[in-house]
Amino acid sequence: MSRYRLWFWGCFVLFFAGLAVASQLALALVAEADEVGPSMTQLGQLSIEQLENVEITSVAKRPQPLSQAAAAVFVITAEDIRRSGATSLPEVLRLAPNLEVARINAFTYTISARGFNSPESSNKLLVLIDGRSVYSPLGGTIFWQGIDVPLADIERIEVISGPGGTLYGANAVNGVVNIITKSSAGTQGLLASMGAGSEDSGMYVRYGGALQGFATYRAYVKAFHRDDTDPVSALDMTQDSFSGAQAGFRLDGGVGRETFTVQGDLFGNRVKDSYEKLWGGDMLARWGHAFDDGSSLSVQAYWDKSDRDAVLLQDRLQTYDLQAQHTFSLGASQQIVWGGEFRVWREALFSQSPFHFLNPSATLTLGNAFAQDDIALSENLKLTVGTKAEYNSYSGLDVLPNVRVAWEPRKDTLFWAAISRAVRTPSRIDRELIAPGILIAAPHFGSEQLTAFEAGYRGEILSKVSLSVSGYYNDYNDLRSDQYAVPDIFPVQLQNHLNAKTYGVEVWGTYSPADWWRLRAGFNSFQRSLSLDPQATDLTETQTAGQDPPYQAQLRSEMNFGSDWELDLDLRNVAHVKTPALVSFVPQIYRTVAVTPSYTEADARVGWRFASGLELSLDGINLLHSRHLEFNDPSSYPPRSIQRSVFVTLKAAL
């Protein structure tokens, strides 16, 4: 029992006491009004545009039909997040059957789509929070320990597996995670939640209000603590317990045909004993204009600061980004979107280890222009063609085209296919990292290239069954390899001599046996073959290829008992991860050793709405085993086991 836990239980008692007083006062104030009265009075303060933005979080509502996108898209809704019992963003992403999510320790994760998953190699996934990219130019990865979004504020997360280069730019190679938060019009009033359990505790308070007929706002504070995970090795003495706090706001408004959003956040997170410390903030402004002819223009600017102190290194990053896009119709059958973006990354990395940058500071710039046309060839056949030209100050110009076809022979049945090109641009580590006698800089390291072929089906087979199936064949060239600059003599240099072909299938579906019961299932398989250019070697033995299970499966059951009780069960299986086989001189025995054993885990949640606006839930996470390992790569982080845990949450909406 740490002192933090004591504080949290203290908070819990305070929370109940405060709530009791508050609800009495509130009841006295609204006693004469009908039960829904206060709500409708507040709704009445919203403008008609704001009303359209209010999100409905109705339990009875079925998930919305997916957009008619010709891509493998899985949408995580606000309701899915609420019912998942997840306490962090990466845990929420486990809901997407088209992602690989592996928890490394108490504070971080490695997440990828369609392979290449490891802290070193998961550099082909783009993550956007309300249009703000959190992709790090340092190593091309995502530092999940420095990314937090209040889960109750998320409207939906669109998880696209497959390339999204044409619309999202470079590094959207294997997928895009697009996190969209609710308009503040949909988060009016007070929401408070408090949770504590065997491994985690957290609290969250949000208040939203309206500025009469003009704008709405919300502000929040949150804090969390996660306990240590279990070391796998007896020699691992590190403690990785993780805590942090974050605060932020969002303002949305509109006058006539203009709409605007301004939002910002501040955070500070810390791993025990300052093993890793992260802090920073962001500010984003977006302006939209709707023209009389139905076309629309949006302009967005953001600033993001993300600093990190780890053992022997200090990383300072600031991002400035400006982008604009214009959407319009051409004739009756064409919908065109075009736009451009300019970004500046200013980074400084100070290292006290032999691995360092000759010049700690760098300014990277990026600029792009894109256009995409959706053409209705006939009533049920749609062709999408688009391309983006993107320039970056490291490797110059990349062209990222795609062609997509969607055929909807009848309502709720969509077949689609796509061919796209995407690139992963060089990171600072690829180009600049040096270590005397070991590694020399690679000023000519170029972009990693992908040509992707995909096809899929999405539809409702019977009235109660919906299904999505997608398959892909990815052809990668110029992936990162390590080789001697001069044959057989150190130092080595990073070069682009590894090639890969990957293929796989992603399937998910839902089935509702009854009004009160829904079943969901997801599965993905992944295969690959690797090859090197003639005369090339890869000394790190396919570290670039990542650690990917050949398949993953998940099953979820969501039950409602009356309008007050919910029972959710989740079962998932992740196959064992083997060392990728590449170089023939590695003995067979090492190639087939499981790096991470397969595991099966289950979660359960009971939710109870015991009074209007009050919800209590009990979560059991990783119930099947006292501990399990999800990721094992001692070169990046000491391997840690994730424990079973239970968690109680009280949520109040007033």
Identify residues 5-64 at the interface with other proteins (CB under 8 A): 7, 10-11, 14-15, 18-19, 21-23, 25-26, 29-30, 33-44, 46-49, 51-61, 64
Contacts of 86 (CB under 8 A, 6+ apart): 92, 94, 95, 151
Q: What is the DSSP string of 236-305?
A: ------EEEEEEEEEEEEEETTEEEEEEEEEEEEEEGGGSEEEEEEEEEEEEEEE-TTS-EEEEEEEEEE
Whole-number Cα distances in Å, 298 to 131, 182, 254, 304, 330: 12, 18, 13, 20, 18
What does the alpha-carbon distance between residue 492 and residue 177 come to, in Å, rounded to a whole number?
A: 34
Residue 585 CB neighbour total at 10 angstroms: 5
Stretches 2-10, 349-357, 436-444, 632-640: which one binds other proteins (CB under 8 A)? 2-10
Of 68, 211, 257, 412, which lies in the binding site for other proteins, with binding defined by CB under 8 A? 257
Q: How far is the CB of 270 from other proteins (least distance, A)?
A: 8
Considering only residues 412 through 431, tell me which ones interact with other proteins, judged by CB under 8 A: none
Q: Is 51 helix (H, G, I), strand (E, B) or coil?
A: helix
Considering only residues 608 through 637, tell me which ones interact with other proteins, judged by CB under 8 A: 612-613
What does the alpha-carbon distance between residue 432 and residue 429 come to, in Å, rounded to a whole number?
A: 6
Of 563, 592, 600, 626, which lies in the binding site for other proteins, with binding defined by CB under 8 A? 563
Residue position matching structure tokens 């001599």: 497
Considering only residues 268 through 307, tell me which ones interact with other proteins, judged by CB under 8 A: 270, 290, 292, 294
CA atoms within 13 A on the CB side of 572: 24
Q: Is 183 helix (H, G, I), strand (E, B) or coil?
A: coil
Q: What is the DSSP string of 554-587?
A: EEEEEEEETTTEEEEEEEEEEPPEEPPP--TTS-
Residue placing its CB nearer to other proteins in the complex, 26 or 555: 26
Tokens of 374: 């959706």
Residue placing its CB nearer to other proteins in the complex, 52 or 412: 52
Q: Is 545 helix (H, G, I), strand (E, B) or coil?
A: helix
Stretches 3-11, 99-107, 375-383, 492-500: which one binds other proteins (CB under 8 A)? 3-11
Residue placing its CB nearer to other proteins in the complex, 488 or 515: 515
Binding mask 183-202 for other proteins (x = CB under 8 A): -----xxxxx----------
- The count of residues interacting with other proteins (CB under 8 A) is 72
Considering only residues 196 through 255, tell me which ones interact with other proteins, judged by CB under 8 A: 203, 205, 207, 209, 221, 223, 243, 245
What does the alpha-carbon distance between residue 28 and residue 38 come to, in Å, rounded to a whole number?
A: 13
Considering only residues 144 through 173, tell me which ones interact with other proteins, judged by CB under 8 A: 155-156
Strand partners, 93: none
Residue placing its CB nearer to other proteins in the complex, 80 or 91: 80
Q: How far is the CB of 113 from other proteins (least distance, A)?
A: 23
Tokens of 232: 């796998």
- Bridge pairing between strands 175-181 and 200-211: unpaired
Residue placing its CB nearer to other proteins in the complex, 62 or 627: 62
Residue placing its CB nearer to other proteins in the complex, 143 or 220: 220
Of 3, 212, 331, 535, which lies in the binding site for other proteins, with binding defined by CB under 8 A? 3
Residue placing its CB nearer to other proteins in the complex, 292 or 515: 292
The answer to whether 623 and 601 have CB atoms below 8 angstroms apart is yes
Considering only residues 515 through 554, tell me which ones interact with other proteins, judged by CB under 8 A: none
**Site for other proteins contains 582 (CB under 8 A):** no
Q: How far is the CB of 224 from other proteins (least distance, A)?
A: 10
